[in-house]
Amino acid sequence: MEIKLQPATNYERKIFYKEEWDVNDVPDFVIDSLTSREFGFDHYGQGPNDRYKTFPDALRLKRFMKVKQPFAAYCSVAFYDKPKQRKGWKQSELVFDVDAKDVPIRTCDCNEGEVCDKCLSQAKDIVLMIKDVLEGDLGLKNINMIYSGRGYHVRVLDESVMTSSSDLRGQIVQYVIGAKEPDLSNSMGFTNLQHFIIPYGYSKNFTKWSKYTILHLTEKSKLDNVNTKLLKDTLKFRHFLEDDQWGMFRGNIGPIRFNKLISAVARINMSITDTKVSIDLKRILRLPSTLHSKVSMKSTLIKNIETFDPFDDAVPQFVYERKD
Looking at the Cβ atoms of 112 and 159, the one nearer to Zn ion is 112
- Going by the DSSP 8-state scheme, the letter that residue 19 receives in this structure is I
Quote the least distance from Cβ 83 to Zn ion, whole Å: 37
Q: Interior CA angle at 110 toward 107 and 113, to 5°?
A: 120
Quote the least distance from Cβ 3 to Zn ion, whole Å: 14
Task: Tell me the residue type at 24.
Answer: N
Quote the least distance from Cβ 120 to Zn ion, whole Å: 7
Q: In this structure, are residues 151 and 120 in contact, taking their beta carbons and an 8 Å threshold?
A: yes
Quote the least distance from Cβ 324 to Zn ion, whole Å: 21
Quote the least distance from Cβ 288 to Zn ion, whole Å: 23
Phi, psi of 293 (to 5 degrees): -65, -25
Active-site choice (42, 57, 97, 309):
97
Q: Per DSSP, what are the bridge partners of residue 72?
A: 42
Tell me how crowded residue 266 is: count the other CB atoms within 10 A of its CB: 21
Looking at the Cβ atoms of 42 and 117, the one nearer to Zn ion is 117
Q: In this structure, are residues 270 and 217 in contact, taking their beta carbons and an 8 Å threshold?
A: no
Q: What angle do the packed helices 117-136 and 202-215 form, to 10 degrees?
A: 170
Quote the least distance from Cβ 151 to Zn ion, whole Å: 11
Looking at the Cβ atoms of 116 and 248, the one nearer to Zn ion is 116
CA–CA gap between residue 19 and residue 321 (Å, rounded): 13
Quote the least distance from Cβ 126 to Zn ion, whole Å: 13
Looking at the Cβ atoms of 105 and 261, the one nearer to Zn ion is 105
Query: Taking the CA of residue 74 as centre, how many other CA atoms within 13 Å lie in the half-sphere pointing to its CB?
Result: 22
Phi, psi of 309 (to 5 degrees): -135, 115
Residues 6+ apart with CB under 8 A from 107: 118, 119, 122, 216, 218
Looking at the Cβ atoms of 23 and 116, the one nearer to Zn ion is 116
Q: Is 274 a catalytic residue?
A: yes
Looking at the Cβ atoms of 20 and 117, the one nearer to Zn ion is 117
Task: Tell me the residue type at 114.
Answer: E
Tell how strand 151-156 and strand 50-53 pair up: unpaired
Looking at the Cβ atoms of 34 and 119, the one nearer to Zn ion is 119
- DSSP states along 312-323: HHS--HHHHT--
For Zn ion, the binding residues (CB under 5 A) are 108, 110, 116, 118-119
Q: 28, exposed or middle or buried, with CB in 10 Å at 0-12, 13-18, 19+?
A: exposed
Active-site choice (99, 109, 158, 233):
99
Q: Is 125 a catalytic residue?
A: no
Indicate the SS3 state at residue 259.
helix
Q: Which residues are catalytic, by number?
A: 97, 99, 274
